[in-house]
Amino acid sequence: MTDSKSPKQAHRTLDCIGLYCPAPVLNTRQEVDKLAIGDVLEVLADDPAAEEDLKAWAKRTGQKILKIEKTDEGMRFLIQKTK
């Protein structure tokens, strides 16, 4: 999922490297709750389940995943708070 219009800079970064299910999703939810609508959270994770877990969480809560990319350390997600 990539969007050429997605922002390159996030308003906040959440480092979940070394954390495993359910910590990345729980921590992401807590950080998104702190954001204003429209703000973007960058999540860094190396849990193999993080991609599917975060996609399911975003769908369930109505948040928008702007970008998912593989990095040397794992995965990078840009999630926009929509409500």
Question: Beta partners for 68?
Answer: 77
The answer to the question of residue 1 being in a domain is no
Task: Look at the pTM and tell me if it is higher than 0.75.
Answer: yes
Total domains, the chain: 1
* Residue 7 resides in a domain: no
Encoded amino acid at 63, one letter = Q
pLDDT at 2 over 90: no
What are the catalytic residues?
A: 21
11 alpha-carbon distance from chain centroid: 12
- Is 6 inside any structural domain? no
pLDDT at 78 over 80: yes
Establish if 4 belongs to a structural domain. Answer: no
- Please give the residue range of the domain that contains residue 36: 13-80
Instruction: Please check the confidence at residue 4 and state whether its pLDDT lies above 80.
Output: no
Residue 72 lies in a domain: yes
Quote the pLDDT of residue 9.
82
Q: For 15-66, write each residue's pLDDT tens digit.
A: 999 999 999 999 999 999 999 999 999 999 999 999 999 999 999 999 999 9
The answer to whether residue 53 sits within a structural domain is yes
Domain of residue 64, CATH code: 3.30.110.40
- Which residues have CB under 8 Å from 45's CB, separation 6+? 16, 17, 19, 24, 54, 74, 75, 77
- In angstroms, rounded to a whole number, what is the distance separating the alpha carbons of residues 74 and 63? 22
